[in-house]
Amino acid sequence: MTEELFRDDATLMECEAHVTQVDERGVQLDRTVFYPHGGGQAGDRGELVLADGRVIVIADTRKGEVPGDIVHVLANADDRAALAIGAPVRARIDVERRRAHMRFHTATHLLCALIPHPVDGCSITSDYARLDFHMTDALDKSVIEAGLERLVGEAHPVSQRWITDAELDANPGLVRSMSVQPPRGSGRVRLLEIEGVDLQPCGGTHVANTAEIGALVVRKIEKKSASTRRVVLAFRDAPAG
Ligand SMILES: [Zn+2]
């Protein structure tokens, strides 16, 4: 089990850790700030700095085969030899890339609030965020852009809290107010709340206030199938690609 520092504080960009496992898939640490690919959000990149100053480049982060394991994927497989079990490392993520993930991820919650239909696909990268909605109605690009601009401009605080299954059961109104039903069985779920806008279970990384998202554009609206509408968001200040 890797201690997931990013779950409770998404603003942590580096940490001290120790190597617990090294194999052909990558490196595992006792604790990490690297978010593993999941929930639609891309995995972090970055580097591990060894005690002697050597820098090991991490190309991606993935969940391991065992639940709770986080695998830091080496950009260069030969670096495996430099990583001894128990060795101390400084784990440092690519800050610019992660900030983009956090801004886009929070933006997808705003989109969920603006388009109240079930989501059946999601991809969050540093270049774009893509959400597929299960719906048949047409979507209006300018209406969505205006809605996003309003919610970003209103600077809503974003917060998270853990809640137990028992607390969920005791508060049926809470579940009703969520845009996505919480998963059951693990004993507790993490709720992400954008004050006055959206409440749903989510394990990803987010900014602390919608104002941090910045200006967005709807790059594309696509009819993926008779019952799926795809919306692709980009940052207004980003080069088109
Ligand atoms: Zn989220």
Tell me how far the alpha carbon of residue 41 lies from the centroid of ligand 1, in angstroms: 9
* Distance separating alpha carbons of residues 202 and 174, to the nearest angstrom: 15
| pTM metric for this prediction | 0.93
pLDDT recorded at residue 182: 80
CA distance linking residue 197 with residue 216, whole number of Å:
17
Residue 202 identity: C
Cα of 109 to ligand 1 centre, how many Å?
A: 6
Residue 1, pLDDT score: 86
Instruction: Kindly list the strands in the beta sheet with 228-235, ordered across the sheet, starting from the edge strand earlier in the chain.
Output: 119-124, 129-134, 228-235, 216-225
Rg (CA), the chain: 19
Q: Are strands 228-235 and 216-225 parallel, antiparallel or unpaired?
A: antiparallel
Cα of 1 to ligand 1 centre, how many Å?
22
User: Cα(140) to centroid of ligand 1, in Å?
Assistant: 24
Query: Across-strand partners of 121?
Result: 132
Q: In angstroms, what is the span from residue 120 Cα to ligand 1's centroid?
A: 14
Kind and range of the H or E element at 91? Answer: strand 88-93
* Stretches in the chain below the pLDDT threshold 50: 241
What is the model's pLDDT at position 240? 54
The Å distance, Cα 192 to ligand 1 centre, comes to 6
Q: Do 91 and 15 contact (CB within 8 A), yes or no?
A: yes
What whole-number distance in Å separates Cα of residue 105 and Cα of residue 41?
7
CA 39 – ligand 1 centroid, Å? 8
pLDDT given at position 239: 61
What is the CA(36)–ligand 1 centre distance, in A? 14
| Residue 78 DSSP label | G
Who's near 184: CB < 8 A, 6+ residues apart?
A: 165, 168
Say how many C-beta atoms besides its own lie within 10 A of residue 75's C-beta: 12
What is the dihedral sign for C-alpha 133, 116, 193, 149?
positive
Cβ atoms within 10 Å of 178's Cβ, excluding its own? 16
